[in-house]
Structure 1
Amino acid sequence: MPSPQLFRKIFGVAFFLLTCYALGSPAGPRSVSNGRLGITIASKMTTKQYIKDYNLSLDLAVLRLEGKITASGGKIFATSGKTADFYTTVQKCKQAGGSIATPRNQGENAAILYFVKQFNKYAYLGAKESLIPGKFYSLNGAEMNYTNWHLGEPSAKGEEECVEMYTDGTWNDKKCNHNRLIVCQF
């Protein structure tokens, strides 16, 4: 039996991805109706109420994820398979109760790489350039103890303030306005 904390993480991720799958967009605090499934999510409805009201079990939600969840290093990583710019990615992950994926070690990097390869799309990581060109930090302000830069990166060319992951798992500094795979951590 998973711990209550792990269960809450899994439950939150399952709800986020199930909502994305069912409604075609990441969950958010709004009222949405979907005639295809005949469901309405009220703006103040909690995850627990949603699952209870529609008699969806966690097992059913997990089955519908279709390989859009993985775990490493005590974190759960999830994707909806959709893309967005860096700031929208940060917002969508926050709305889901998580944060943009930020690998702290090789195992977590591999967990994110799983999605990058599966969808064949680069993904933004939770890091930004500091005031010192070429020096990056995680979004929580902590210094990055783990990096996996591609050869010659970060190049610190102009406005490349964000970090993307290539399909080989290495990183590149990139402008923040490109659409990349949304990968969140919980």
Structure 2
Amino acid sequence: MEKIFFVIVLLTGFCVVSASSTWLYYFIKRFMTFDEANDYCMSKYNSFMSVDNNSMNDFFWTYLKDRTDRVWVGLLARTLPWTGMDRQPAKYFNWKFNQPNGGIDELCATMVYDGEWQDLTCSFHRPSVCSNGSHYYITETEMTWMDAVANCETKNSSLVQIQNSTMNNEIMNLLSNVTEVWIGLNRSVDWYWADTGKSATFLNWQNGQPDNLNGNEFCAAMVTEDGTWTDEQCDELYYFVCKELEIIIPEGAGSSNEDGTKVLQSKQTMVKLQIQTTVNMEDPVASDILVQRFCAMLAKQGVTDFRLTWRKLPEKETQNKRKGDS
């Protein structure tokens, strides 16, 4: 297995902290499913890759674009609870046996002729039931769930939200000319990070994505051609990136203020890089180019108040490092 190490470093001239931290990223050139990659990252390092903003996405894209066509992003989908037209979690259900069963593809609900419910893809066309608070009426014209919502609103009503068995039976008795109707019940898909369980606030989907085209596309990957993301079946095999948090505690730096918080006047961070390349890094020109590119990457992230120097590890230390990694 080939493993490549790279790093994002944030350096500042002045800070008010007692310690600093750096995320170390590891590009794992080994084909794994999403779950296998997540388990590998959790056991070997700290967590799976996550992307918080456009600058970070561009960093990964720039690094990975010539190395593979897709990599797993540590992002996956979950369905949120069913809600009614008031956007509150529904409390009454009358699902058919083995329903709901559609995962992230079937996010809207219908009632069938016997009064039971099933989940359905929201873009399908079905009749619908509107309610104005005192009366129910069927719209036999078939349309999508969203169009049915809009159609009811044009009539000063809403797609019916069924609250109890009595109301459910009343709606069922109206289904004389139709066999299935949209009702006011749906749910949403939430994309969240595997390492934290938190909903993603930054997304970089390719146009038309996520589309769940082949079904069960619950996991996300980066297309390294342009850095955009696609939804994928989680058992696909892709390379991936792990991350590890390194805590750096300066020794004897700065002084303490009245509340005991250490104020650092300056901070020095040493980063060890393992570089896989055919270029002779003993060549001063090559090492200067590396330093220039690293400085440009930091400047692009808004980090300017720093000085960067390059030093090769002694051969003995390098060998010891390799033994420790094996």
Q: Report the TM range for the smaller structure's normalisation.
A: 0.5 to 0.7
Q: What is the rounded CA distance, in whole Å, between the counterparts of 1:179 and 1:117 in structure 2?
A: 17
How many residues are matched? 123
Following TM superposition, by how much is the alpha carbon of 1:25 offset from its aligned partner in structure 2, in angstroms? 6.9
Letter in 2 for 1:165: M
1:85 and 2:25 aligned? no
User: Partner of 1:161 in structure 2?
Assistant: 218
Instruction: Name the SS of the counterpart of 1:181 in structure 2.
Output: strand
Unaligned runs of 5+ in 2: 11-21, 81-103, 105-188, 245-326
The answer to whether the 8 A contact 1:164-1:171 is kept is: yes
Within the candidate set 170, 186, 193, 1:138 is matched to 193
Larger radius of gyration: 2
Residue identity in the other structure for 1:153: Q
Select between 129-138 and 95-104 the one with higher mean Cα deviation: 129-138
Partner amino acid, structure 2, of 1:121 = D
TM-score, L = length of structure 1: 0.59
TM, length-normalised to structure 2: 0.35
For 1:75, what is the secondary structure of its paired residue?
strand
- Please say if residues 124 and 164 of structure 1, whose CA atoms lie closer than 8 Å, have aligned partners that are also in contact: yes
Counterpart check, 1:126 vs 2:97: no
Task: State the alpha-carbon separation in 1 of the partners of residues 25 and 58 from structure 2.
Answer: 11
**What is the one-letter code of the residue matched to 2:77?**
E
Q: Following the alignment from structure 1 to structure 2, what is the Cα–Cα distance between the partners of residues 124 and 81?
A: 11
Residues in 1 aligned to 2:58 and 2:44: alpha-carbon distance in whole angstroms: 22
User: Is contact 1:80-1:182 (8 Å) kept?
Assistant: yes
Cα distance between partner residues in 2 of 1:135 and 1:122: 22
Residues 132-141 or 174-183, more deviating: 132-141
The CA RMSD measured in Å over matched residues stands at: 2.1
Q: Tell me whether 114-123 or 84-93 shows the greater mean CA deviation.
A: 114-123
CA distance in 1, matches of 2:63, 2:35: 19
Report the Cα offset of residue 72 of structure 1. Answer: 5.8
Question: 1:184 — aligned with what?
Answer: 242
1:112 maps to 60
The one-letter code of the counterpart of 1:171 is W
Query: Is the strand fraction higher in 1 or 2?
Result: 2
1:99 matched residue in structure 2: 47
Query: Structure 1: where are the runs of 5+ without partners?
Result: 1-23, 27-64
Q: Work out the CA distance in 2 between the residues paired with 1:91 and 1:115.
A: 23
* C-alpha distance 25-94 of structure 1, shift in aligned 2 (>3 A): farther
**Larger helix percent:** 1
Partners of 1:75 and 1:123 in 2: CA distance: 19
TM superposition shift of 1:125: 1.0
CA 1:72 to 1:111, structure 2 compared with 1: closer, same or farther past 3 Å?
Answer: farther
Alignment of 1:34-73 (within 5 A): 65=4, 68-71=5-8
1:169 to partner: Cα distance? 0.5
- Relative distance call for 1:142 and 1:72 in structure 2 (3 A) is farther
> 1:93 aligns to what SS in structure 2?
helix
Letter matched to residue 57 of structure 2: N
Structure-1 residue corresponding to 2:174? none
Contact 2:35 2:234 (C-alpha < 8 Å) held by counterparts: yes
State the one-letter code of the partner of 2:31.
T
Aligned amino acid, residue 149 of structure 1:
W
